[in-house]
Amino acid sequence: MQLYKDQPLRIHNSLSGKKELFQPINKGHIGMYVCGPTVYSNVHLGNCRTFMSFDMIFRYFRHLGYKVRYVRNITDAGHLENDADEGEDKIAKKAKLEQIEPMEVVQRYTVDFHNTLQKFNLLPPSIEPTATGHIIEQIEIIKDILEKGLAYEVNGSVYFDVVKFNEDHEYGKLSGRKLEDMIANTRELTAQDEKKNPQDFALWKKAEPQHIMRWPSPWGDGFPGWHLECTAMSTKYLGETFDIHGGGMDLKFPHHECEIAQAEASTGKSPVKYWMHANMLTLNGKKMSKSTGNNIYPSEIFSGDNNILSKVYSPAVVRFFMKQAHYTSILDLSDDALLASEKGYNRLMEAMTGLKDLKTGTTSDFDVAAWKQKCYDAMNDDFNTPILIAHLFDAVKHINLIKDDQETITSVDKELLEATLNAFVYDVLGIENQALAKDDSKALNGVMELLIQIRNDARTNKDFATSDKIRDELTALGIQLKDGQEGTTYTLK
C-alpha cells in the first residue's frame, strides 16, 4: 500500500526554518538517522520524549507505505565531560566511579535503555550501531578531512579547522550562528589549549596513559571525537546524503553543526535533506537534565516512587500525554497535566474497546471518509499529533452517540472507522490499549455477570443497600459498573 502517493507530507526543516513538502531522495524509500543516547546512566523521561517523537514519525512513514531504514546509534565512547583537554570520557568516568569495566557500564545502560523504550512501545530501529564498532570508519573520515586540509594534528590529537572550513562553507547555518559572532563572543584561549581556535572541535583525542578506552590510530593511541561517530555511522548505513536526520533540540549546536561540517569537508556534499529537532520536556518549567538532577526516570513514574506525582501512571498514558503536544513544542510535565491525559486516554480506549460490537444501521450520521482524511491532513502537517487526537475524540463522540442510540452508522462505515482508529491509535501513535491487556478471563466474566445479575435483582426489589454494596465494593477493587440502555457493563481500571 503506497498511501504516500495520495498524502503529501510537509515537514518542518530546521535547516531552512520552514515547512517543506517532503520528497525522499529515492522514491518510496527513506533513510533516517536519529542521535541515540550516551549510555552512561539510565534514560530519563526527557530522553524518552525525543525517541518517542521519532518513533511516531517512523511509524507514520511506515504506515504511509515507505520503506524506511531507521538508524539510531548508541554512543559508547568519545563523549567527553567537557571540551577542555582534560575532559574525561563519560563512560570511562562512570566505570571508574563504579569500579567496573567501561563496557559493563555500556551494557548495563544499553539494557536499561532498551527495556524502557519497550515499555513505551517504541519500535526498534532498523540498525542500532555503536561508536566503538565504527572506529575504523571514523579514522578513515579523519584521514580524508586531513588530506583536504580542513583538520590539523597536534600532539596526537586531530582537530577540525572551523575557520578554514568557513572560508568555503558556512559553519553555523543550521543553528543560525555566524562564526565571526562566535569568535567575538569567546573568551581568550587557555594557555594549554592545543586548538588554533576555540571553535575547533576534536576529531581524535590522544589518550593519556591512564585512559582505559583507547584505540590505535595513525596519530597514536586515542579515541574518536563525539561528533564524528554520527557522521561515520550515518554515512556508512544511509549514504553520503540521506533524507532525515533527527535528534533533540539541544544537539542542534554544536553537535549537528559539526556533523554538517565533517560531512561537507569529507564528501563536499550536504549530508542531510531534512533536519528535524524534537523539543525538550521540562519539569518545573526547566529542562530535564542529567547534570542538574532536574529529571524523573520512567521507572519512578510506573512505580509511583517519586515526590512529583500524586499517583502511578502507565507507560501508555505517558505516551498519550506526550502525543497531545506537538513534537516541536516544549512540553511541561506536571501531575495535573498527566491526570487530565489519563482521563482522556481512558475515554478514548473505552470507545475503542467496544468498537467491534457497535450496532450498525442503514444510514450513517457520521461522514467517516471525510473524517479519515482529516486525520491524515493533521499528520501530513508536520506530524501534528495534537490535532490528530482532537479528531480522534470527534470519533469517540460519535461512537458514544451510536452506543446511546442517538446516531447510526452503516456496517461499511463502521469497518472503515474501526480500521482507521486502529491504524492511527495503535500503529501510528503507538498507544497501547491497556484495558484489552488486562485480565479478561472467562471466569472473571462469569463472576461479573453473576454479580451484575444479583445487583439488578436487588435493584428491582429496591434493596439498594445490597446493590450499592456490590457497586461500591467493586469500585474499590477497580471495577467500574456502567448502567447503560442495554444493561450493565463493566470496565477494569
Residues numbered 31-90 forming contacts with RNA, rule: CB under 7 A = 35-38, 44, 46-47, 49-50, 79-83, 90
**Cell numbers 567496573 correspond to what residue?**
100
Q: ∠ at Cα 265 (262, 271), nearest 5°?
A: 65
**What is the smallest separation between the CB atom of 27 and RNA, expressed in angstroms?**
28
Nearer to RNA, 71 or 281 (CB): 281
Q: Does 384 bind RNA (CB under 7 A)?
A: yes
DSSP code for 198: T
User: In which element (H, E) is residue 386 found?
Assistant: helix 385-403
Q: Tell which positions 388-417 bind RNA, by CB under 7 A.
A: 389-390, 393-394, 396-397, 400-401, 403-404, 406
Q: Which stretch binds RNA (CB under 7 A): 116-124, 379-387, 419-427, 430-438?
A: 379-387
Task: Confirm or reject binding of residue 175 to RNA (CB under 7 A).
Answer: yes
Give the interface segment with RNA, choosing from 93-101, 161-169, 281-289, 354-362 (CB under 7 A). 281-289
Q: Is 226 in the site for RNA (CB under 7 A)?
A: yes
Nearer to RNA, 26 or 382 (CB): 382
What the block records as the C-alpha cell of 328 is 516541536
169 contacts RNA (rule: CB under 7 A): no
Residue 287 makes contact with RNA by CB under 7 A:
yes
Q: How far is CA 415 from CA 149, 188, 351, 356, 424, in A?
A: 63, 68, 15, 9, 14
Phi then psi for residue 70, to 5 deg, are -110, 115
Question: Judged by CB, which is closer to RNA: 266, or 295?
Answer: 295
Closer CB to RNA, residue 29 or residue 482? 482
Phi, psi of 213, deg, nearest 5: -90, 105
Cβ(109)–Cβ(95) below 8 Å: no
CB of 88 to RNA, least distance (A): 10
Q: How far is the CB of 268 from RNA (least distance, A)?
A: 26
x/- binding map, residues 252-271, to RNA, per CB under 7 A?
Answer: xxxx----------------
The string of DSSP codes covering 293-308 is -----HHHHHH--SSS
Nearest by Cα to 85 from 155, 142, 173? 155
By CB under 7 A, which span of 216-224, 233-241, 300-308, 318-326 interacts with RNA? 318-326
* Options 56, 151, 288, 429; binder of RNA; rule CB under 7 A: 288
For position 186 contacting RNA by CB under 7 A, the verdict is yes
CA–CA distances in Å: residue 78 to residues 50, 64, 153, 370:
22, 37, 18, 51
Question: Cell numbers at residue 415, please?
Answer: 469497518
* Range in contact with RNA (rule: CB under 7 A) among 175-183, 310-318, 415-423, 435-443: 175-183
3-state secondary structure of 112: helix
| Minimum gap (Å) between residue 252 Cβ and RNA | 7
Cβ atoms of 449 and 455 within 8 Å: the answer is no
Q: Is 372:3 a contact under the CB 8 Å cutoff?
A: no
User: Considering the complex, what minimum distance in angstroms separates the CB of residue 404 from RNA?
Assistant: 5
Is residue 434 within the footprint of RNA (CB under 7 A)?
no
Collapsing DSSP to helix, strand or coil, 242 comes out as: strand
Among 5, 29, 482, 493, binds RNA (CB under 7 A): 482
Name the segment binding RNA (CB under 7 A); options: 97-105, 131-139, 248-256, 261-269.
248-256
Cell numbers for 129: 550501531
Taking CB under 7 A as the rule, does residue 108 contact RNA?
Answer: no
Site for RNA in 325-354 (CB under 7 A): 325-326, 329-332, 334, 336-337, 339-341, 343-344, 347, 350
Q: How far is the CB of 328 from RNA (least distance, A)?
A: 7
Q: Tell me the C-alpha distance between 119 and 298, whole Å.
A: 9
Residues 195-214, interacting with RNA (CB under 7 A): 198
Handedness of CA 201, 206, 210, 212 (dihedral sign): positive
- Angstrom distance (rounded) from CA 269 to CA 387: 37
- The cell numbers describing 216, all together, are 590505535
State the cell numbers at 469. 454494596
Touching RNA, residues 115-154 (CB under 7 A): none
Minimal distance in Å, beta carbon 239 to RNA?
A: 22
CA distances from 386 to 58, 101, 329, 389 (A): 17, 44, 11, 5
